[in-house]
Amino acid sequence: MVENMEWYRVFYVTAKAGSFTLAAEQLFITQPAVTHHIKQLEHALGGQLFFRSSKGVHLTHAGQMLYTYIEQAMNLISTGERKLAELHQLMEGEIRIGAGDTLCKHYLLPYLEQFHESYPNIHIQVTNRTTPETIQLLKAGKIDFGIVNLPISDKQVTILESWELIDCFITSAKYKHSIHEPLTWEQLIQLPLILFEKGSNTRNYIDQFCAEQGVEMKPEIELGSEDLLVEFVRRGLGVACVVKNFIQNELDKDTFYEVAVDPPLPPRKVGIITMKQIPLTSAANTFIEMLPIG
C-alpha cells in the first residue's frame, strides 16, 4: 500500500498535463516537489511510470495501466465532493422528523409545505408518534429532530421552545348548561370527560396539574388523537381537553363551547428537540430555522 495518497494526485495531474512544469503550476508546488512525489510513487510501486521526451513526459505501459484506475478514483472523489456540495446547497438529501398527529397537522404542516416548495429535491420523512415515543426515536437515531409537547426533561436532548399552547375544555350544545360560570376541578371531574390516553405527554401534564388541585381524572373515554377528541365532542359524547389554539375558529362560530375551570391549566409550549453533540444535516438545520422559536 502506498503510504501517501497525495502521490497519486500528483501522478494524475502530471499525466493529464504531460509536463512536470505544468503539473507544478496546477498543484501550486515546485517542479522539484512534483519530481520527488513521482519518484517516491515509482519506488513504492516498483517501476517507472513516466518517460521524458522533447515534448514533455509520457506514461509508460505500467503508468498507463495505473492511470486508468487512478482516473476512475479521482472521478469518484470529484463526484463525492459534488454530491456533498449538493447536500450543503440543499439540492438533494433527506429530513427525518418525529411529531404527533396533532402537532403535525396544526403546527408542522404549513412549514413542510413551505420547505418543500423551496427545496423540492429534499426527501421528507415524518414519523407520527407520541412525545415519549418521539424522544426514543431521536435517541435511537431514527429521526433528525422531533416536534413535541412540552414540558419534558431529558439531559441528552436539546430543547428549543416554540409556540405557546393553551389547553381548554370544550363541549357541545348538549352540555352547554355546564359553562355558565367557571367550574372548580371537583365539579369538572363529575362531567363525562374525554381525554388523551395515559402515557401521552399531554395526559401526563393534565394529570399532574389535577393532582396539584387535589383531584384525580377518571375519564369515561380515552383516545389517541386530538381529532378524535374533537369529533367525540361534536357528537355530544362529553367534555374534552383540547388545544384552544387549534379550534379557536370553531369556538368563535359556537360549534363548541368552552368550559371554564378555575384555576385554568397553565400554558405550555411546543418543543423542537435534537440530540446534544450530534450535528444536524444542512437540510435539517435549514428546516428548523424556518420554525418559530421562543
Domain residue extents for the chain: 6-88, 93-163+272-290, 167-266
- Superfamily, domain 93-163+272-290: Periplasmic binding protein-like II (3.40.190.10)
CA distances from 264 to 102, 188, 241 (A): 21, 11, 11
Percentage of the chain surpassing pLDDT 90?
77
pLDDT at residue number 79: 80
In this predicted structure, what is the pLDDT of residue 2? 66
Residue 1 confidence class, pLDDT cut points 50, 70, 90: low
> What one-letter code names the amino acid at 210?
C
Comparing 93-163+272-290 with 167-266, is the CATH topology the same?
yes
Name the E strands within 107-205.
122-128, 145-149, 157-165, 167-171, 193-196
Q: What is the mean pLDDT of residues 61-65?
A: 95
pLDDT band at 179 (very low <50, low <70, confident <90, very high): confident
Q: What is the average pLDDT score of the chain? A: 92
Rounded CA-CA distance 195/187 in Å is: 16
| Contact assessment for residue 93 and residue 122, using Cβ atoms and an 8 Å cutoff | yes
Q: What would be the CATH architecture of the domain defined by 6-88?
A: Orthogonal Bundle (1.10)
DSSP 175: G
State the cell numbers at 204.
401526563
Predicted TM-score (pTM) of the model is 0.71
Q: Higher confidence at residue 55 or residue 6?
A: 6
**CATH code at 167-266:** 3.40.190.10
pLDDT tens readout for residues 119-133 = 998 999 999 998 999
8-state DSSP, 106: I
